[in-house]
Structure formats: structure tokens, C-alpha cells
Amino acid sequence: HPPAAGRFILVTQQLQVGSYCCDQVIGRRLPQVLDSPMRFFEWNPMGRILSCFSRYQDEVDSLVPHHLNALLVFCLIAVCACVVTSVIFPIMLLPLVLLITLFYCVCVCVCVCVCVCVLWFQLTSNCQYMIQSLMEVEARFISVERLLEYITLDPAEDWPRCGAITFQDYQMRYSQNSPVVLNGLQLHVSGGEKLGIVGKTGSGKSSLAAALFRLVEPAAGRILIDGVDITSISLSDLRRKLSIIPQDPVLFTGTVRYNLDPFSVHSDEEVWAALEKTYMKDTVRLSVPAELTQDEGTVSAGQRQLMCLSRALLRNSKIILLDEASASVDAETDSLIQITIRDSFQHCTTLTIAHRIHTILQVDRVLVLDHGQVTASPVQCGSGSGLFRSLVQVHVQVQV
């Protein structure tokens, strides 16, 4: 039956459009929302986000395809009505003023007048429904616009090549009304350079790390990595290109391989090679259990830290951040960490937030922070003055 077949085609097309819209929004946009910075979730209530992906998504799935189909049907009817009207009575295509002027000239033929009036009312009725459908589609596309707000620029596959980092008059605060924790930071780190970062408690060392990983969005200024503003790319792409070795290492419940390579990107040989470079190969073979847990009693703090180093080696990132990585380990593990950093990260840009002065004795330059500002231009290790010299003197006195 032709009408039934046409209706079936329209409904099928409506379902296909709805499925495509759902795939575009949920499959692609939702991960971008989940990768948004923490400030986004602080400023947007959870109810608003859920409403965006429930009520608006329902409109995109059901109402938008329905009104698009209605608009298509009424447009076809209007076109057909115009064609029929132009064939039967071409004068109807003239402006309305001309039509009114000539109307009385043709009213002698009642049949023609009735036919023209019927066709005219049918055309205007279809145009009315067509305009109504168009308005409904336009109104429902507001939901589409709100769902597509989070469009980001993907970086090149080989970015970053050198690992150069530039802070340009960078300012950061943790909330809108909180004081500035990084104030006008001006800094350039060349690709492959080893930079030590020192300062007293509260000077902004960890805030600099949070800024680099975009845990907090900038209040002013920007950060460039190989000339690319990090706010112009998605968080997932940015953090995939960087590696951090924190003070408190994190291991997940699962095998050693899963902890080092959770997405199974690397081969077993590469995993073992990374463990060998961090002096953990024999330890994993002999004493580490097959299944790790988040319980700190499974492996020691030093072994956890060395596994985090292995994870960073597998990622092969151009930029490595060590946030007081050896602060909570014994002297032997600390020595292994320093040897691994020196030998395995030669071609990487390394930022070392120092808790112990001896951990930055091998770096190229030392950056001294005080109250979120650079006290002076980064100096060569061993040639510092002012606050850096005082920190070294305090360290020497403590060691003595």
C-alpha cells in the first residue's frame, strides 16, 4: 500500500536521524564534558549537566527528527500545490494585489472560482503548517546548540616534538574570589632542559604543576608547549602527552602490566624493558604479587614510586614532571630514582619540584618561587644567590 510504505520510510528515516544524533552527542560530546577542567564542574551544578544530557537529549532524539519530517512533508505538499495551482490557474503566482484585481474578472466562471479558491486555501494551509514546523525545528535546535558547546581543537599527532614550555604572564587562582597563587609568571624552558623548582611551603610549586596539567584554568596569561596554547586543546589530549610522577604514587587493583599499560598499547617486551630500566624487573619476578591492590602493604612505597617511573617510561612523554617524587622513600630508593631520571629521561624536558636540595643538583637550571612569583631569572645550579642560597645553607645545616 503506497501510503503505508511512505509512512514506513518516514518513520525509519526518523529513527535513523535520532540514532545518528544520539551517537554524535553521547558518543563524542559526553567524553569531552567528562574531560572538562575542574572549574567547569565547580561553576555548573550537577543538575544542570544532567538536564543537558537528559531533557535536551530527549528533544534531540525524538522531537527534532519528528519536526524535520513534518517540515519535509509540508514543504513537498506546498511545492506540489504550487505546481498544480500554476498549471490550473497561472495567474495565482502573481503578487496578491494582482490576484485581487483580476479576481472579479474570472468570477463569472463559478467552477473555475471554486477550484481556484479550494487550491488557494489548501496552499495557504500547507504554508501555515510548513512555517509552524520550521519554527518548531528552529526552537528544538537550541537543544542541539547547548549539547554541542564543547568543541575542542585536537593537536597534531607528533605534538610536542621538542617539549619547550613557555609561561606568558601567567596568573592562576583556585576559585573566582580566592587570592592569586601564581602571579604574572614569566618563564621559558627549552626542549630537553632539566629545570629544578624550589621554594618555601606555599610558594606555588605545586600550583605550577596544577597549571601545567590544567587542573585549574588560568585567570590571565597562557602556557605554550611547542608554541601551542594548552587551552586550545582538550584535556585528554594534553594530559596524554605529559607524564607526572607524584609524591604519593598511585597503583590500581590489577596486574603489574595493567598498572603500567592499562590500555594494552605496548608489548610485553617493552613493559619488561621499562621495569629493567627502573631496577624493578627482578623484584617483580620474585617478590611482587601477581595481583596488586590499593593496599599499601602489597608493595612498599619505594616500589610503588619505581613502578610510576616505569609507567612514565612506557608513555615516552616529552615532558616529565616530578612533584617531590622522592620525598617519602628511603635513601636507597631515592638513589635509584635519581639514576633512572638521569639515564632514562635524557631527551625529555624534566621539571623537578624539589623537596630535598640534593635531588636538583644535576639539573641545568634552578627556578626559585616565592609567593607565586619568580624571585629572579632561573640560575645555573650552584651559582644561585638570595633565597636559593639560603635554602641550600639550611639544607647543609640540617645534614650536618
Q: What is the DSSP string of 308-349?
A: HHHHHHHHT-SEEEEESTTTTS-HHHHHHHHHHHHHH-TTSE
More confident residue, 144 or 344: 344
Is residue 369 classed as helix, strand or coil in its secondary structure? strand
CATH architecture of 191-207+227-399: 3-Layer(aba) Sandwich (3.40)
More confident residue, 179 or 92: 179
The number of C-alpha atoms within 13 Å of 241 and in the hemisphere containing its C-beta is 26
Mean per-residue pLDDT, 90-113: 54
Whole-angstrom Cα distance, residue 257 to residue 267?
Answer: 10
pTM: 0.62
Question: Residue 129 above 70 pLDDT?
Answer: no
Domain boundaries of the chain, sorted by first residue: 2-147, 191-207+227-399
C-alpha cell at 244: 607526572
Q: Which SS3 state, helix, strand or coil, does residue 243 take?
A: strand
Q: Rounded to the nearest 5°, which phi and psi values hold at 74? A: -70, -30
Instruction: DSSP for 205-227, please give it.
Output: HHHHHHHHTTSS--SEEEEEETT
The string of pLDDT tens digits covering residues 289-312 is: 767 776 666 777 778 888 888 888
40 vs 207 pLDDT, higher one: 207
Model confidence at 154: pLDDT above 60:
no
Is residue 113 very low, low, confident or very high in pLDDT (cuts 50, 70, 90)? very low
More confident: 164 or 94: 164
For residue 55, count other CB atoms closer than 10 A to its CB. 11
Lowest mean pLDDT among 135-139, 211-215, 244-248: 135-139
